[in-house]
Structures are given as C-alpha cells and as structure tokens.
Amino acid sequence: MITAPALHVYDTTLRDGAQQEGLNLSVVDKLAIARHLDELGVGFIEGGWPGANPKDTEFFARAGRELDLRNATLAAFGATRRAGSRAADDVLVRALLDSGAAVVTLVAKSHTGHVERALRTTLEENLAMVRDTVSFLHGEGRRVFLDAEHFFDGYTSDRAYALEVLRTAAEAGAEVVALCDTNGGMLPGQVAEVVHDVHDALGGAAAQHEVRVGIHCHNDTGCAVANSMAAVDAGATHVQGTVNGYGERTGNADLLTVVSNLQLKLGHELLEPERLREATRLAHAISEVTTVPPYSRQPYVGASAFAHKAGLHASALKVDPDLYQHTDPGAVGNTMRTLVSDMAGRASIELKAREAGVDLSDRPEVVAGLLATVKDLELRGYTFDAADASFELLLRRTLEPGSLQWFSVESWRVITDARGDGEALSEATVKVTAGGERHVATGEGNGPVNALDQALRAALTATYPEIERLELTDFRVRILDASHGTDAVTRVLIETSDGETTWETVGVAANIVEASWQALSDGVTYGLLRHGVPIR
Amino acid sequence: MITAPALHVYDTTLRDGAQQEGLNLSVVDKLAIARHLDELGVGFIEGGWPGANPKDTEFFARAGRELDLRNATLAAFGATRRAGSRAADDVLVRALLDSGAAVVTLVAKSHTGHVERALRTTLEENLAMVRDTVSFLHGEGRRVFLDAEHFFDGYTSDRAYALEVLRTAAEAGAEVVALCDTNGGMLPGQVAEVVHDVHDALGGAAAQHEVRVGIHCHNDTGCAVANSMAAVDAGATHVQGTVNGYGERTGNADLLTVVSNLQLKLGHELLEPERLREATRLAHAISEVTTVPPYSRQPYVGASAFAHKAGLHASALKVDPDLYQHTDPGAVGNTMRTLVSDMAGRASIELKAREAGVDLSDRPEVVAGLLATVKDLELRGYTFDAADASFELLLRRTLEPGSLQWFSVESWRVITDARGDGEALSEATVKVTAGGERHVATGEGNGPVNALDQALRAALTATYPEIERLELTDFRVRILDASHGTDAVTRVLIETSDGETTWETVGVAANIVEASWQALSDGVTYGLLRHGVPIR
C-alpha cells in the first residue's frame, strides 16, 4: 500500500455510476468491479446504498467475506437521518453501520430550495440532521464523509446556508466535505471561484478538524473533468468520479481521465505508476462486466485514443512519435496504432504491413493497389481499423492470390425455429472441401453464429485438428444505415482466441448471417495462418 | 441570416471530423451533412481538402451547383505552398482557388520542431510559405484563415517563433489565426494563459488588420470543450469544432456543447434560439449519415442528457423539474425523460405509467408488482429505458392479463443459406392464429429479421389490413456478455413506424433470432394497440 497521498481518489462507479441509463449491476458484477478498482489502486470504493437498496446490503455483506482489498477502503453511501427522528433510531442510518464499511458517505441537502421543497423540512432541522448523523456515525468509529448535494446551485442561491451545512458537518467530525455539482451545470471558472471561497471560509474549521474539501462533478456541460481539475487547483484534496465516466444523464467525471491528467500532466502522485499502466486494461475489464460498450474515443484508455489515421500524421509518426502524441501511451497501458483507412496515405499502409511482418518499402505499386482496395471495401462498409487480422489476410491474398486456402466452401445453411413462445434452437449445416475430401457437418447452437461456428469446426477438425484450440470469444454487430435508398448492410466483427492471444476479423453483407459467416471463416483461416498449419 | 455574431462558429466535421476511426464519408454524405449544418446556422463549414483528396475536390464542385446555403460560408482547407516553390505555381494551392470556396483555411507549422523535422525546411522558409500563400489567396479575393498547427506545443518550445508565424499571416492578410492544440494535450488554465498572451502580442496587428484569434481543440485530456471556452474567455472570437465531437483519436471539441454553453450559460448570441432548438434533431440526423451510433451521454443533445433514473430524483422531479435540471432541455430541442429501471422507486413507475396514459396513483400494489417485474426482467437483460412501447405492453398485460392478443403464435422458422461465396438469402415461415383462423405465411428478406417481418405481416394482413402502414425502421443488436459462466444473451431493440410516429420494443434471448422475433412481435402488437384496432 502506498503512503496516504495528498489527494483522495474516490470512486463511485458502483453507486453513482450505476445510475447510468441501461446499466444494471448484479452483486456479483459489483464484487468483480470492486476487485478491478482495488487493482487500479483507488483510495476509496463507494459500494452502494445498503439498507435502501437490497442488492447493496448484500454487496457489503459479501464484500466483508469475499473481498481482500489491498489498496482501497470501502465506503457506504446513504442519507442523513429523516427529519424529526434520532440518528441512532433511524433504520437506514443503522444499515450504514451494519454494512461494516469503515467509511460512511452521507448525502445532505445544502440548497435551501431542496431542503424546503424536496425534503419539506426547515433549514434548522436539516442542519440538525447533518450534525446528528455525522456525530452519531463518528462516535461509532466510522470515518464520515459528507456529499453536499446541489452545492454549487445552493451556494448561488444562499451562500451562507451552504457554507453552514459544511461547517456543521466538519464540526461534527466529518473528514471530507465534497461539493457536488449534482445537476452538472457548472463551468470551470465558476467552480474555481466557489472552491477557493469554501476553502477560505472553512479555514478555521479546516485547520482544527483537518477537513478536506472534495469535488464531485457531472458532465452536463462537457466540463466534468475540467471542473474537477479546477477544484483541485483551487484547493480540493478529494476527487470523486467513476471509471469510464459512468453515471446518470451525461455521466460523472471520468476518474481515470482526471487521475491521468493530474499525474501525467501536473505531477501529482495519485497511483503508483505501475498501477496507472494497468488503467487501459482495467477500464476495459470493467466495461466487460457492465456490458456497456467501451467508448473508443475515451481519453487515455480508449481504443482510438492513440490511433493515428491521417496519412499526413503517419508520415510524421514514422519520423518521431512524440511529434504527434501528447503523452506516452504506455504510461496508461495503451498503445499507439496506425489505422488503415481511405484517409490513409501510402505511409499508413506501409506501417500497417510492417506491423504484420511484411516489408513493402520497395513495392510502391503493391501499396497503391492495396490502398485502392481498402478505399473501395470501406465504401462498402468494411472497416479495417478494428479488424487487423482481416487486413493481414487481405494483404497476403493480394501479394499471393489463391493462397491461404486451407478449405473451400461449397455451401452453408442455418435453420432457426421455435414453437409458440418457446426457446429457439439454431442448427447449421456446412459443406466444405478440405484435405482433398468433401466434408458435411452439422452444428447446433444458441444462435445462428454459434451453430455455424460449431458446424465449421466439425467439418474441418478431421483435416485440421489444430482447430480445437480456437474459440469464438466475441461477436459485435453493427447495422449500417442505408444511405439514399440502398439496403442497409450489417457489419460483424468477430474475435477469435487460441488461448494465448486474440484477433479480430470483419464481415460485411446485407444479410447478418452472411456477414457473420465471412468474419467467422476468416477468423478460423487467420488462426491456421498464425499457427503455421500446412495446407493439407 | 443573422447579423455577423461577435463569435465565429466554425465547423470542421467534414474535414477534421472525418478523420475519426471508422468514419467514411462519401461525397453524397458530405453534401447531406453540409445541409444539416447550414440548417443549424453555423457560420462556416470546412468542407475538406480539395486537390489533396479527390472526394473533396468533387464535393466542392458539386457544392457549388447543388447546395443552397442560407447561413454558412464554405471553407476549403489546405496547406501552405511547398518549400522552395511559388504559391501561384503550387498545384495544391491552385486547387484551393479552383474549389470556389469564399474562405480558404491554410494549415501551417508554428512549431520549430515540426518545421525542421516533419517539413524538413528552414524556419525562414516556413514563414515565407505562410506569407506567400496567404497573400496570394488574399490577392485572389479569398478570405484567408490560418490554422496554426501544434501552436501550443510550438509556443512552449519557442514562443517568439510561434508568434512570428501568426504575425506573418496577419500582416499578409489573414482574417483569423486559429491556435490549434493538435496533440490535444492542453489543460484549460494553460490555454487561457497562452491565448491572453497571443491576444496581447497581436494587439497592434490585431487593431490594424482586424485579425481574430481562433481556437481549435482536441479532447485528449478530456478538456476540449473547457479549453475552447477558456480561450473565448481569454479573447478568442473564432471557435472551431465538430458536431458530435467527431475527430481523430479522442475527437475534436464538440461544437454543439461549446455553443450551448456559450449561449445558454454565458449569454453569447451565436445561433438564433429557434435554430439552437434544432440541435438535438440535427445532431442525430448527422449521426445517421455518418452511421456512427449516437453517444447517449452526450451533453445537451444526447438521448440520456436529460433522462432521470434514480427514484430519489424522480420524486423531486414530480415536484419541480428545475430542481434537477441544469437547463431547459427544450432550448436544444431535447426532452426530459424518466427512466424505468431497477433503481427506480415507485415514483418512477408512476411517472412512466402516466406518460402511457395510465393513472396508478391510487393503486400502490400494482406499482409495487410492476417494479418487481421490471427489476426481474432487467436482471435477465431487458432494458425498458430505451423501449417505452415494451414497457407500456407490460403495464397493460399486468393490469389486464390475457389482453392484447390480436394473434397467437403457433411456430416460426427462418432458414438462411448460401452457396460458396455467394449472397445469402433468408426465408421465414410463420404459423399464427388470428381472427379465429390459422394462417401460414412465408416471407423472404435480406436477413432473418427482415424475412420474419415479411412473413408475420403476410400472415396477419388478411385479418388486420391495418398492418400495411407499419414498417420496421431500425434494428439494434447488443450481445450482453455472459457473466460467470452462463451463456451470453442478445438484446434486440426494434423501431417500428406507422408513417407518423415511431416506437421501440425490446427482445431478449440467448438466440439472436428469437430476441429479434420477440421485439418484432411486440412492435406489431403495439402498432395495433396504438391504432385502436379491435381484436378480430
């Protein structure tokens, strides 16, 4: 464990992040994500709202038994006691204690309008709710953080009251007062001003109780990251966010972007460098648990973050990568990529071929031909950006027409059917010639692609037992909208694994099953190429 | 047309935006996008690089003949003359003239490292290239803008030279000197400092030649929007960006986010309010042309931007929407939505039912039951967030079990096959009972869903001729990763149209075709419900 950093890195993926449209995390999902967050080295993991959300009550119970956190401290989120009750008697407050979390983060109203119209209580009672709940939990040995909800709007509406809420919490024992831009409407300059003022206003209380000012931003103005950084610049020492910027509406501040900026650009030591190097891998691992497709243009960890396309840039990249990159992708575990595309100059094609182990530097006519072919295929919907294996197959077939023919396909067919409301079954039959013989095989699966995959492998296994180790591990479909009257085409990307590494192949066709077949067939072909299997 | 605003709104979707990974725009696509941009009311549309990119040469040629721009001025992008040549003799410079665009935007190196290592010429010659090309084009009657490439890194490396490049361009007749953060590594505070300095340094030249300082940011630090706004705050009066933040790597500054912030938060008048109200519609229309799926969490115009999930918030929303929204969604043509989800409290379910025209305020047991059903279905992969019609069907089937039975399904089957490399064909057979009779129908299509849709309609049309007006208009597939060993499920969202409006239905199953069938069948059912068709 690293020594306590100057800045708290506080992750709320499992609580605020979970409020994203379409996101549904099971308890098992949450435990998996918590492990990844711990691996990343964040200081705090806000696990949820035990008591209010039964799944979260279960999460904390199981976390205590099953999680072996090395770096992070678990925090339970919840509300101050209900108006007119005692903290010790409040069922939900008790649930926060019962969760066993060492940290409890309490959300409290700091906007007079919300106190009066949403909570429907008095300003004084709200302060008492804060005071009582914080001191009760503090007295029970918990570290208490305060989330001052709607703080910035509240400050604008009634500065004195907003500050009073913070002071009340600090005096009652809160270690952090996090200013939340709950509606997400703030801009960086405004945030800086307010945080400066809060930091000064808490001066006395801060010195006495060692209270940290925290920041919690949403991305409604596209400035969540900038707002968070402006706050740190103005004195905040506790930053909240979510991995991959998950969250309600436009999401919370992307914690990895904020951390990478602070660490790589401004020299703050937040995560051990070797942990920051795991950022890309862990951000993707977490998106696999959430099933939210990764956003390729995400700063630092996105698949496209260091992917260079313009032919112009690729020429310069050959000269010196630092001419076109703002930081070393390796620092966050990402890699520089050059993309093949119709914007690509010959330089991009050459670079890509070099990545595939083929030197085309003295074959300009081949490069030109490939470029033309790529442009044409891309017009039809193919994308080689995300399908390196397909590009390599195209390259090799261009260099040596008629090669890579481990098998030839006579026909394929898939039947999917169901009775009434019952479950559907897919059955595929594939007829191929391999090793000089005709093979007919049938496969069944929980879907057409699955069935085709089983059938193809069954048809090839006698000739190529090497097929055994290949496995279809991912399948992505995109329906490309029709432009101007022509039929829509489907683009399918398939990921195949041989147990050590994976590769992606693409298929494009009007028919989704045909597009899948293309990608599947190439995925298998590439596997045979990669393992140097002789054509039998 | 509005009077020239204080700020230039300069769109580079068709040039810099087009460099996004996976993006491929045809000339027809570009013309369509240009029309949408003009409708939005941007001041300038950078159409591409004529001469260097044949598609762009064609674009400008056709734009002259086919586009009737009411608000925007077309700009042609290109480079300064080659080192050691004359501007008038440079083929690519001539191509900029020949494009006919009233504005020419020249990209020039302003970083000594790039001049010497990428261009491989002298610092003096680079200045001459700027001077000659700007004055040549200015002399030919074009408005000339300069894009100072890698400006911020160049300024850090050699401030005097970077400023000299700008002065040279201004003195030669450039109307705008746009400072480009080409590598995207800047943070807002740094941008503000540099822009302040540039603005002061150009003071004399600015006063004399009325040169505007412009800003062009990329999102590599997650601060493109904030950087753009910091620049405006520091004196920039020309803002570049792309719609939906398209662009290489992490993309360019999202122009609509920047414009909305400046206009709705800071009172700048950039677009006529009635045009800004078209922002959501146009952002989506443009994404349909690019086929890049819209990013639901996009600020202002994203589908989720004003979608409220947490049960907590929904209670307050019933009280006063302004308590939880940072701005009026109507100002950008978006709408507030409440989401049904397992995070939803009863308040969300009630609100959603109210949206469907059903009052459940005095039926708490129904609300509780629905909530439990929704939570359970969502655990299995259903999402009602994006499938309002499916939620309404669930609601009505819960209130009246056995209702909504326009037809009952006996069985369905799809066969897809192909010979060799040939095109695949899908054929579906559907057996239903409707109007007291058994109907068996076959449909063909360019895919299994298409074929099933044709077959179902053929089977129902005799009993329900109202089916004619229904059309399947969109189809989205998401493979939900398996968690912890169980099989992956597929979620399909289908959009159906009756020519006036559209609705979305969802289907979830391990088998992609079965999931599609569920969504399809419900889409048709909802259409019959919506049109009050009696069960025959």
> Could you tell me which of A131, A123, A125 has the C-alpha nearest to residue A166?
A131
**Residue B342 has what pLDDT?**
45
Report for A433-437, A503-507, B422-426: range of highest mean pLDDT: A433-437
B414, B474, B476, B484: best to mutate for the A interface, most A CBs within 10 A: B414
Tens digits of residue pLDDT in B407-419? 999 999 999 999 8
Does the beta-carbon distance from A517 to B418 stay under 8 Å? yes
- Tokens in use for A294? 């990764």
B423: nearest CA partner in chain A: A514
Q: What is the spatial distance between Cα B136 and Cα A209, in angstroms, rounded to a whole number?
A: 68
Q: Where are the alpha helices (DSSP H) in B400-475?
A: 448-460
**Residue B482 has what pLDDT?**
47
**Residue A480 has what pLDDT?**
65
pLDDT greater than 50 at residue B346: yes
Does the beta-carbon distance from B225 to A226 stay under 8 Å? yes
pLDDT greater than 60 at residue A314: no
**Residue A308 has what pLDDT?**
79
Distance from CA of A208 to the nearest CA of B (A): 31
pLDDT greater than 50 at residue A434: yes
Distance from CA of B117 to the nearest CA of A (A): 8
pLDDT band at residue B384 under the 50/70/90 scheme: confident
Average pLDDT over residues A230-258: 96
Average pLDDT over residues A522-533: 95
Torsion angle, alpha carbons of A363, A364, A366, A367, to 10: 120
Same domain, A242 and A323: no
- Tokens in use for A232? 């740190």
Of A351, A379, A407, the residue at which a domain comes to its end is A379
Does the beta-carbon distance from B188 to A187 stay under 8 Å? no
- Tokens in use for A431? 């007829």
Domain annotation covers residue B29: yes
**Residue A367 has what pLDDT?**
87
Average pLDDT over residues A389-393: 91
A12, A16, A24, A242: best to mutate for the B interface, most B CBs within 10 A: A24
B184: nearest CA partner in chain A: A326
Q: What is the spatial distance between Cα A262 and Cα A264, in angstroms, rounded to a whole number?
A: 6
When divided into structural domains, chain B yields a total of: 2
Name the percent of chain A lying above pLDDT 90: 64
pLDDT greater than 80 at residue B204: no
Tens digits of residue pLDDT in A150-193? 999 999 999 999 999 999 999 999 999 999 999 999 999 999 99
Does the beta-carbon distance from A257 to B221 stay under 8 Å? yes
pLDDT greater than 80 at residue B291: no
Same domain, B116 and B159: yes
Domain annotation covers residue B393: no
What does the buried/exposed string (b/e) look like for A200-221 if buried means 16 or more CB atoms within 10 Å of the residue's CB? ebbeebbeebebbbbbbbbbbb
pLDDT greater than 90 at residue B285: no
Q: Residue A323: its chain B contacts at CB < 8 A?
A: 113-114, 117-118, 150
pLDDT greater than 50 at residue B461: yes
Does the beta-carbon distance from B249 to A26 stay under 8 Å? no
Name the percent of chain B lying above pLDDT 70: 92
pLDDT band at residue A482 under the 50/70/90 scheme: very low
CB pairs under 8 A between A and B: 341
Interior CA angle at B477 toward B472 and B483, to 5°?
Answer: 150
Distance from CA of B209 to the nearest CA of A (A): 31
Q: What is the spatial distance between Cα A449 and Cα A523, in angstroms, rounded to a whole number?
A: 13
Tens digits of residue pLDDT in A339-366? 655 445 677 788 878 888 889 888 888 8
Same domain, A43 and A108: yes
Does the beta-carbon distance from B447 to A490 stay under 8 Å? yes
Same domain, B271 and B331: no
Q: What is the spatial distance between Cα B452 and Cα B514, in angstroms, rounded to a whole number?
A: 10
Report for A32-41, A373-382, A478-487: range of highest mean pLDDT: A32-41
**Residue B522 has what pLDDT?**
95
Same domain, B353 and B244: no
Q: In terms of pLDDT, which residue wins out, B22 or B335?
A: B335
Same domain, A202 and A314: no
Report the mean per-residue pLDDT for chain A: 89
B306: nearest CA partner in chain A: A249
Does the beta-carbon distance from B118 to A295 stay under 8 Å? no
Does the beta-carbon distance from A183 to B326 stay under 8 Å? yes
CB B281 within 8 A of CB B248: no
Tens digits of residue pLDDT in B76-114? 999 999 999 999 999 999 999 999 999 999 999 999 999
pTM for this model (two decimals) = 0.79
Lowest-confidence segment of A4-8, A46-50, A254-258, B49-53 by average pLDDT:
A4-8
Domain annotation covers residue A436: no
CATH number of the domain enclosing A205: 3.20.20.70
- Tokens in use for A492? 């399918």
Average pLDDT over residues B193-220: 86
pLDDT greater than 80 at residue A316: no
Question: Residue A94: how many CB atoms within 10 A of its CB?
Answer: 15
> Could you tell me which of B363, B342, B352 has the C-alpha nearest to residue B317?
B352
A15, A115, A326: best to mutate for the B interface, most B CBs within 10 A: A326
Q: What is the spatial distance between Cα A111 and Cα A109, in angstroms, rounded to a whole number?
A: 6
Sheet holding A502-509, edge to edge: A471-480, A489-497, A502-509
Of B379, B403, B433, the residue at which a domain comes to its end is B379
Average pLDDT over residues B477-489: 55
A309, A410, A450: best to mutate for the B interface, most B CBs within 10 A: A309
Q: What is the spatial distance between Cα A334 and Cα A30, in angstroms, rounded to a whole number?
A: 25
Same domain, A187 and A334: no
Name the residue among A20, A24, A414 with its Cβ closest to that of B416. A414
Strand A44-48, strand B44-48: pairing: unpaired
Report the mean per-residue pLDDT for chain B: 89
Same domain, B279 and B352: no
Q: Residue A225: its chain B contacts at CB < 8 A?
A: 221-223, 226
What does the buried/exposed string (b/e) look like for A188-197 if buried means 16 or more CB atoms within 10 Å of the residue's CB? bbbbbebbbe
Residues near A254 by beta carbon (within 8 Å), at least 6 away in sequence: A224, A225, A241, A242, A243, A244, A245, A298, A299, B222
Domain annotation covers residue B71: yes
Q: Residue B301: its chain A contacts at CB < 8 A?
A: none
Average pLDDT over residues A244-273: 96
**Residue A459 has what pLDDT?**
96
In order, the DSSP letters of A186-251 are --HHHHHHHHHHHHHHTHHHHHHHTPEEEEE-B-TTS-HHHHHHHHHHTT--EEEEBGGG--STT-
pLDDT greater than 90 at residue A140: yes
Does the beta-carbon distance from A226 to B114 stay under 8 Å? no
Q: Residue B425: its chain A contacts at CB < 8 A?
A: 511
**Residue B47 has what pLDDT?**
98
pLDDT greater than 50 at residue A436: yes
- Tokens in use for A278? 């795991």
Domain annotation covers residue B369: yes
pLDDT greater than 60 at residue A2: no
Residues near B31 by beta carbon (within 8 Å), at least 6 away in sequence: B59, B62, B63, B66, B67
Name the residue among B117, B446, B511 with its Cβ closest to that of A511. B446
Does the beta-carbon distance from A479 to B477 stay under 8 Å? yes
Average pLDDT over residues A423-438: 95
Q: What is the spatial distance between Cα B216 and Cα A223, in angstroms, rounded to a whole number?
A: 16
Q: Is the dihedral of CA B285, B286, B289, B293 positive or negative?
A: negative
Q: In terms of pLDDT, which residue wins out, A378 or A418?
A: A418
Q: In terms of pLDDT, which residue wins out, B405 or A313?
A: B405
Q: Residue B310: its chain A contacts at CB < 8 A?
A: 19, 248
Q: Residue A477: its chain B contacts at CB < 8 A?
A: 477, 479
**Residue A132 has what pLDDT?**
97
Range of the domain at B58: 8-290
Q: What is the spatial distance between Cα B421 and Cα B17, in angstroms, rounded to a whole number?
A: 36
pLDDT greater than 80 at residue A406: yes
Same domain, B235 and B90: yes
Of A335, A359, A379, the residue at which a domain comes to its end is A379
- Crossing angle of helices A27-40 and A279-290, rounded to 10°: 170
Q: Residue B421: its chain A contacts at CB < 8 A?
A: 409
Distance from CA of A209 to the nearest CA of B (A): 31
Domain annotation covers residue A501: no
Domain annotation covers residue A82: yes
Name the residue among B481, B511, B514 with its Cβ closest to that of A291. B481
Q: Residue B411: its chain A contacts at CB < 8 A?
A: 417-420
**Residue B348 has what pLDDT?**
73
Same domain, A281 and A329: no
Q: Which residue has the tokens 């575990």?
A: A333
**Residue A475 has what pLDDT?**
77
Q: What is the DSSP letter of B486?
A: S
**Residue B490 has what pLDDT?**
83
Name the residue among A220, A309, A343 with its Cβ closest to that of B326. A220
Same domain, A190 and A69: yes
Helix (H, G, I), strand (E, B) or coil at B107: strand
Does the beta-carbon distance from A114 to B298 stay under 8 Å? no
Spell out the SS3 assignment of A426-459.
Answer: EEEEEEEEECCEEEEEEEEECCHHHHHHHHHHHH
Q: Residue B258: its chain A contacts at CB < 8 A?
A: 222
pLDDT band at residue B475 under the 50/70/90 scheme: confident
Does the beta-carbon distance from A414 to B415 stay under 8 Å? yes
Q: What is the spatial distance between Cα A5 and Cα B17, in angstroms, rounded to a whole number?
A: 39
Q: What is the spatial distance between Cα B11 and Cα B26, in angstroms, rounded to a whole number?
A: 18
Does the beta-carbon distance from A221 to B185 stay under 8 Å? no
Domain annotation covers residue B208: yes
Q: What is the spatial distance between Cα A147 and Cα A108, in angstroms, rounded to a whole number?
A: 6
ipTM over 0.95: no
Q: What is the spatial distance between Cα A122 and Cα A130, in angstroms, rounded to a whole number?
A: 13
Q: Residue A424: its chain B contacts at CB < 8 A?
A: 509, 511, 513-514, 517
Same domain, A181 and A229: yes
**Residue B409 has what pLDDT?**
95
Q: What is the spatial distance between Cα A269 and Cα B415, in angstroms, rounded to a whole number?
A: 59
Average pLDDT over residues B385-414: 90
pLDDT greater than 80 at residue B307: yes
Report for A108-122, B50-64, B180-194, B442-456: range of highest mean pLDDT: B180-194
